[in-house]
Amino acid sequence: MGTKLDSRKKLFDKFSNQLHLLKENGLINIDLKFDKTYICPICLDQFQEKDIISSSTNFLTEEDAPPAKLGGKRIVLTCKDCNSTAGHQIDNHLVNRIRENDENSFYKGTKQYRNIEFEGQNITAEITSNGDGTLRVFHKSKNNNPSLLDKFVYGIKNKTVGPLLNLEPKDYQVNSERVNLALLKTSYIITFSKFGYIFLLDDFFNPIRSQIRDMNAGYESHIFLSKQLETNNSGSYYVMNTGAKSIFNVFTLSTEYSQTVISSFIPMPNLTPEQIFENLTKSGYSVNEPGKVGVNLDVRNYDPNANLFNDITEIKKIINWVQK
């Protein structure tokens, strides 16, 4: 069995075993179609073990969270249809947003192509940041009008051009709504990787799944925090604040140049993001900044040693917490 197939088989067995354990103990009320069933966490379609093998029809694929281009790892299986449609069409917007931020921050070593406005026309330049506030700019004749480029270079050397130049930013055509959907998808997949089917099969989570599957369905509000925590805070937490019961995921979007730490709330059943926000902020404190309020989160660490995939006692602890 190939390496990829081995990896899929391990993930299939891990989640399928938990699913059947939940069924055998009467903790879920779902008819499972196969002796070994895997339910895609996004579309909820059921698959059997042979579906880990690539085929011309829909099959199970490994899913990265965060996206692989931002340092994510393959942590669950989703079906090919969901991975291709929900994944690529929204994840790319998140990847491009981070790349855009990297370029606009001019981190040391970043290289980009920008247009420089000169006499109503554009000079195309390759720009590399030195990381100390200075830039190295290279111009190639084949990418520019040679006579215009000569005139521009002559003006730079004789200081008749500059010292300020207008650099036109690259248009990544990033859709902010799809960026948020990609963050929601990442947080949802991370939650599934930690808890499996214990509570995520609840109909309460259907709107999240629908938003991930159909990017044109409209984006409902969710709570994300950016750059509020450090990379060493990465992980999953239980939010214990009254009226704010949720899973709090902290994950890092990594590139060659930057690390962006994102925090996200996945509400437990019967709580909306709006209710969580209201309940957290109404007991908040002043931070002396207009429009901002400080919040004290009462959290408990996710215990990686608690076997939530094979130990029914540990599984019931989570169910009791969700339901109480």
Q: Which percentage of the chain shows pLDDT scores above 90?
A: 60
pLDDT band at 299 (very low <50, low <70, confident <90, very high): very high
Sign of CA dihedral 33, 39, 44, 48: negative
Residue 1: pLDDT over 60: no
Residue 309: pLDDT over 90: yes
Q: Residue 209 in contact with residue 184, Cβ under 8 Å?
A: no
Number of domains in the chain: 2
Based on the domain organization, do 121 and 208 belong to the same domain?
A: no
d(CA 82, CA 198): 21
Based on the domain organization, do 294 and 147 belong to the same domain?
A: no
Based on the domain organization, do 232 and 89 belong to the same domain?
A: yes
User: Mean pLDDT highest for which of 58-67, 96-105, 170-179?
Assistant: 58-67
If one compares 219 and 68, the residue with the highest pLDDT of the two is 68
Based on the domain organization, do 215 and 119 belong to the same domain?
A: no
Based on the domain organization, do 194 and 57 belong to the same domain?
A: yes
Based on the domain organization, do 153 and 271 belong to the same domain?
A: no
pTM to 2 decimal places: 0.90
Give the pLDDT mean for 107-119.
Answer: 85
Which structural domain, as residue segments, surrounds residue 52?
3-99+174-323
**Residue 323 CA from chain centroid, whole number:** 28
Based on the domain organization, do 163 and 180 belong to the same domain?
A: no
Greatest Cα pair distance, the chain, in angstroms, is 82
User: Mean pLDDT highest for which of 96-110, 170-184, 231-245?
Assistant: 231-245
Based on the domain organization, do 146 and 178 belong to the same domain?
A: no
pLDDT tens for each residue of 144-191 = 888 888 888 888 888 888 777 777 777 788 999 999 999 999 999 999
Residue 84 is predicted with a pLDDT of 86
Residue 87 is predicted with a pLDDT of 66
Based on the domain organization, do 87 and 128 belong to the same domain?
A: no
pLDDT band at 285 (very low <50, low <70, confident <90, very high): confident
Residue 219: pLDDT over 70: no
Based on the domain organization, do 63 and 196 belong to the same domain?
A: yes
Based on the domain organization, do 112 and 255 belong to the same domain?
A: no
